[in-house]
């Protein structure tokens, strides 16, 4: 009877039948088999189950990677639907809802802005309606009306020699300054320097044109009236920058459409000068005459002069000019 020997020695590797087949061993993982054939050691039976082949771990990693990629590609689950994935078109419906909400807010704010603009317009119109309106008298006048002049006579030849001889007696000089308004304006100055008399006469004749800036209907006469009132206010309330005293104003009836005389007494450097200004408006023409005389000088060579004489001389010169307007 043969003696029973010890059981045959078993290798620690897994049997070849447990592998994935010869074709797989020869496939992409064939290098694993060749490597383990030369390097792996045999383990005794009591060493327990052997470790799985590396290609099995690789397959598991591939499957896990595919699941992760699938999870990344899948749409995220809305927090409002629990663990269920949103139905197709869910995101597009959310975008449409947001767009509708944005359009609604745009309509609301746009309507609010329109309402504010309407209210502001109504307030402005209401406040503007309470302000005094200019009289238009049938609309804005843009042409010269009957009696109005486009040009004026020459100032230097309008004052008669009799007037000049009476109020500026002696050797006098005349000068005609240039004007920027063409034939619608004319200027002339006369000076008498004959001690004890020193007098100076300045004359301005100007025709005004229709203007949309004028009061009333904007006619040429309205523009001249505005200029007349402006000169009167400058005499009654001189600007501080001029350092001129307030004038004593006297109405002159029967001269043109309206007229006044204004006397100002100016003291400076020891000299006292009386300045008489006569302003006449005839339709759209404004005649301004200024006659001044040295009432007292610090040298004692000039003076005195009487204010009534200055007013009479300025008024006479103004009458001479008005007579040439018709």
| pLDDT tens per residue across span 205-241 | 999 999 999 999 999 999 999 999 999 999 999 999 9
**Percentage of residues of the chain with pLDDT beyond 70:** 68
For the segment 161-189, the average pLDDT, to the nearest whole number, is 95
User: Do the strands 258-268 and 248-251 form a parallel or antiparallel pair, or are they unpaired?
Assistant: antiparallel
> Is it the case that residue 165 has pLDDT exceeding 60?
yes
Residues 128 and 198 in one domain: no
Tell me, yes or no, whether 141 lies in a domain: no
Tell me, yes or no, whether 192 lies in a domain: yes
At 110 the pLDDT is: 76
Residues 207 and 257 in one domain: yes
SS (H, E, C) the chain: CCCCCCCCCCCCCCCHHHCCCHHHHCCCCHHHHHHHHHHCCCCCHHHCCCCCCHHHHHHHHHHHHHHHHHHHHCCCCCCCCCCCCCCCCHHHHHHHHHHHHHHHHHHHHHHHHHHHHHHHHHHHHHHHHHCCCCCCCCCCCCCCCCCCCCCCCCHHHHCCHHHHHHHCCCCEEEECCCCCCHHHEEEEEEEEEECCEEEEEEEEEEECCCCCCCCCCCCHHHHHHHHHHHHHHHHHCCCHHHCCCCCEEEECCCCCCEEEEEEEEEEECCEEEEEEEEEEEECCEEEEEEEEEEEECCCCCCCCCCHHHHHHHHHHHHHHHHHCCC
> What's the mean pLDDT when you consider all of the chain?
79
Residues 201 and 60 in one domain: no
Residues 183 and 207 in one domain: yes
At 251 the pLDDT is: 97
- Binning pLDDT at 50, 70 and 90, where does residue 91 land? low
- Choose between 51 and 275: higher pLDDT: 275
> Structure pTM?
0.58
> Is it the case that residue 204 has pLDDT exceeding 70?
yes
Find where tokens 């486009």 sit.
150
Tell me, yes or no, whether 4 lies in a domain: no
As for how many domains the chain has, the answer is 3
At 236 the pLDDT is: 95
Contacts for 103 with CB less than 8 Å, ≥ 6 apart: none
For the segment 46-60, the average pLDDT, to the nearest whole number, is 55
């Amino acid at each position: 009877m043969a003696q029973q020997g010890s059981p045959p020695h078993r290798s620690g590797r897994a049997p070849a039948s447990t592998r994935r087949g010869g074709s797989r061993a020869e496939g992409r993982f064939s290098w694993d088999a060749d490597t383990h054939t030369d390097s792996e050691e045999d383990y005794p039976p009591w060493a327990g189950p052997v470790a799985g082949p590396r290609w099995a771990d690789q397959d598991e990693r591939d499957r896990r990677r595919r699941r992760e990629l699938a999870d990344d590609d899948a749409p995220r689950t809305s927090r409002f639907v629990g663990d269920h994935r949103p139905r197709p078109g869910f995101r597009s419906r959310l975008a449409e809802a947001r767009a509708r909400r944005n359009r609604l807010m745009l309509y609301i704010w746009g309507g609010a802005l329109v309402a504010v603009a309407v209210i502001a317009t109504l307030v402005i119109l209401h406040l503007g309606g309470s302000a005094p309106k200019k009289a238009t008298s049938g609309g804005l006048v843009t042409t010269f009306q009957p009696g109005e002049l486009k040009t004026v006579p020459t100032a230097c030849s309008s004052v008669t020699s009799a007037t000049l001889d009476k109020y500026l007696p002696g050797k006098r000089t005349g000068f005609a300054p240039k004007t920027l308004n063409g034939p619608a304006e004319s200027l002339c100055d006369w000076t008498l320097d004959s001690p004890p008399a020193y007098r100076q006469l300045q004359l301005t004749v100007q025709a005004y044109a229709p203007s949309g800036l004028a009061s009333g209907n904007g006619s040429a006469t309205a523009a001249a009236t505005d200029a007349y009132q402006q000169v009167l206010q400058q005499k009654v309330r001189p600007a501080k920058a001029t350092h001129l005293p307030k004038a004593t104003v006297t109405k002159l009836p029967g001269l043109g459409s309206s007229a006044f005389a204004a006397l100002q007494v100016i003291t400076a450097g020891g000299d006292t000068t009386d300045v008489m200004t006569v302003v006449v408006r005839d339709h759209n023409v404004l005649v301004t005459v200024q006659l001044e005389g040295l009432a007292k000088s610090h040298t004692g060579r000039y003076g005195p002069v009487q204010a009534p004489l200055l007013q009479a001389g300025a008024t006479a010169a103004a009458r001479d000019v008005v007579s040439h307007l018709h």
